[in-house]
Amino acid sequence: MTSPVTIAIRLLTAVFCLAGGSFAFGSGDALPERVQGVGVDEHLDAEIPLDVEFMDDQGARASFRSLLGAGLPVLLTLNYGDCPGLCVAQLNGLTKGINDVGSLHLGSDFKMVSISINPKESYQRAAGTKAKYADSLADHHKKAGWQFWVGTEQNILKIADAVGFNYTFDAKHSRYNHTAVAILISPKGKVTRYLYEVGLTGETLKMALVEAGQGKIGSSLDAFMLLCYHYDANENRYSASAKTVLSITAGLFLTIGLAVSLPFWFSWRRRSGTIGHATTL
């Protein structure tokens, strides 16, 4: 059964792909033919194929095994250089979101990879796409931390299938129909989160990266905040969990209460012992 999230993403894709055209949904109508089969089937905790080979924007061989070798979480997107609009909006939004994350540094705390879904793209084309976005990164981020990969159709599909990224090719208009999603991958190569907003906030991105980093990146406060928050798939953001916050607050009050009362209790015990000893004499 298709999940509500998948349906929503497919409808959003329809808006982007068909913008400027005319279409109408009658009662009981299915999705437009152009976007049928487009969307995301979330494969949380799925393992990424580590040894599928690509070519990076420098013309060197690349794979997730080498990318994850540094022990850092990875943010993955699937796009293509000639995308007429959606990829531009997503990658611009990601660049802004990354620049808003002041406490985590691209290249030092996490890495990024954008894989082209167009098997005809060359690494030179990927290098041009990278320059368009990486040049907009703030100075505290390393451009080398964001790689752009190209590869064969077979290898692209292996990664797309592993993360549940479904797309189609529109031969008439020579373009790909796809959605926009940022996929977080842990240092062990497992999918931890899907983020669908075209313009991600720095806070949402930071929480997702801390979660994907499994406690190895971010501050102690970031890790504590993650305990208090949960990912709201409907809102596509991290929201405070009232139950968790109340539990932690109650625990803190209990701890503080014990810490304050223990000295008085020990003092009372000492006085009681002294009085009892004097009475016996």
- Between helix 220-228 and helix 242-280 the angle, nearest 10°, is 100
pLDDT at 85 over 50: yes
pLDDT at 68 over 60: yes
Classify 187 as helix, strand or coil. Answer: coil
Q: How confident is the model at residue 102 (pLDDT cuts 50, 70, 90)?
A: confident
Interval 115-141 mean pLDDT: 95
pLDDT at 63 over 70: yes
Interval 189-216 mean pLDDT: 84
Q: Is the dihedral of CA 154, 178, 34, 36 positive or negative?
A: positive
Environment class of 64 (CB within 10 Å of its CB; exposed 0-12, middle 13-18, buried 19+): buried
Residues 47 and 189: beta-carbon distance below 8 Å: yes
Between 163 and 226, residue with greater pLDDT: 163
What domains lie within the chain, and their CATH numbers?
A: 4-215 (3.40.30.10)
pLDDT of residue 60: 98
Q: What is the mean pLDDT of the chain?
A: 78
Residues 54 and 150: beta-carbon distance below 8 Å: yes
Q: How far apart are CA 216 and CA 109, in angstroms?
A: 9
pLDDT of residue 103: 85
pLDDT at 74 over 80: yes
Inter-CA distances, 95 with 65, 89, 109, 136, 196, Å? 25, 10, 16, 7, 15
What percent of the chain stands above pLDDT 70? 63
Phi, then psi, of 271 in degrees rounded to 5: -65, -40
pLDDT of residue 227: 47
pLDDT of residue 178: 94
Q: How confident is the model at residue 236 (pLDDT cuts 50, 70, 90)?
A: low
Q: How far apart are CA 80 and CA 210, in angstroms?
A: 27
Q: Is the dihedral of CA 121, 52, 179, 144 positive or negative?
A: negative
Q: How confident is the model at residue 56 (pLDDT cuts 50, 70, 90)?
A: very high
Interval 77-91 mean pLDDT: 94
Q: How confident is the model at residue 8 (pLDDT cuts 50, 70, 90)?
A: very low
pLDDT of residue 239: 55
pLDDT at 110 over 80: yes
Q: How confident is the model at residue 13 (pLDDT cuts 50, 70, 90)?
A: very low
Q: How confident is the model at residue 206 (pLDDT cuts 50, 70, 90)?
A: confident
Residues contacting 144, CB < 8 A, separation 6+: 107
What percent of the chain stands above pLDDT 90? 53
